[in-house]
Amino acid sequence: MAPSPLFLKIRAIAFSLIIFFSLLWTTLLSVYLYYEWDTSDPAERPIVAVMIFTDTLTLIMLLVLLILEFKAWLDAARLLFLMLAHIGSAAVFAFWNPSFQCPTSSPDAEGICRLLNLYILVASWLIPVLLILYAVGLAIAMVRASRHNEPPMLERDSILPMMRPTSDVAAHVLSYSCSSEKSINGSTPEDRRKHISEVPSRTHSTPHNSLTKFPPFLV
């Protein structure tokens, strides 16, 4: 697949946005995990750690894809892996979010803890949405490129002379007649008489059944 320059620009912009949000989200989650380690739920910490690891892996993989030469199958494979990783971690956090406990001493601290969990829940779906949008654009570009690269149907010559184009038959007859005239004109009178005498013999050498076939009712 030969990508268009417009598609490559859109791809670079999309990857840059995903890399930026991944870096920002990794930083925010690391700060949250550092300052809220004592007040966060023990079941929440490993999920947030997995999300940090997934975002870091996204940074590395997209940077590598930007550096390497574009290949559709390579982009599709990496995107599928990243979408599964991000959607999986976001779905797990959304499933366990109602059961997370905030061991705090005041209602205000508990409200801040719940609010931070809600922010993490909403923001964890941003990168998966961007990856899905780029995957849709990649699929559309691949379909359009495959349609443009389809070779046109070529006309094949038939093995039967009557099914060949008229120009081919005329050219064949003309070349045969020219070669016959050259061979006759360039020969001696003795060769001409020999050539003329061979014509009836060639005609009589053909099978009788192949030349004349009578209908069944005349036999």
- The pLDDT of residue 110: 81
pTM of the full predicted structure?
0.64
- Supply the range of the domain harboring residue 132: 5-148
- CATH number, domain containing residue 69: 1.20.120
Looking at residue 157, its amino acid is D
pLDDT higher than 50, residue 210 = no
Residue 12 within any structural domain of the chain:
yes
Residue 160 belongs to a domain: no
Whether 49 is covered by a domain: the verdict is yes
Residue 180 has pLDDT above 80, yes or no: no
Asked if pLDDT for residue 72 goes beyond 50, the answer is: yes
168 in a structural domain: no
For 153-168, how does the pLDDT look when each residue is reduced to its tens digit (9 = 90+)?
Answer: 544 444 544 454 455 5
* Tokens standing for residue 33: 């995990």
Q: Is the pLDDT of residue 176 over 70?
A: no
Beta strands in 56-148 (DSSP E): none
Is the model's pLDDT at 28 over the cut of 90? yes
- Give me the mean pLDDT over the 20-31 stretch: 95
- Please indicate, yes or no, if residue 182 is contained in any of the structural domains: no
Domain for residue 157, yes or no?
Answer: no
Asked if residue 96 belongs to a domain, the reply is yes
Q: What is the pLDDT of residue 114?
A: 87
* Chain segment 73-103, per-residue pLDDT in tens: 888 899 999 999 999 999 999 999 888 888 7
169: left (phi over 0), alpha (psi -120 to 50) or beta: alpha
| 140 found inside a domain | yes
How many separate domains does the chain show?
1
Q: What is the pLDDT of residues 42-58, one digit of tens each?
A: 889 999 999 999 999 99
Distances from the Cα of 24 to the Cα of 27, 68, 127, 196, angstroms = 5, 24, 11, 96
Question: Which residue did the predictor score with more confidence, 128 or 109?
Answer: 128
| pLDDT given for residue 206 in this prediction | 46
Those residues whose C-beta lies under 8 Å from the C-beta of residue 120, and which sit 6 or more positions away, are 29, 32, 48, 51, 93
What is the C-alpha separation between 113 and 102, in angstroms, rounded?
6
Cα separation of 38 and 219, whole Å? 112
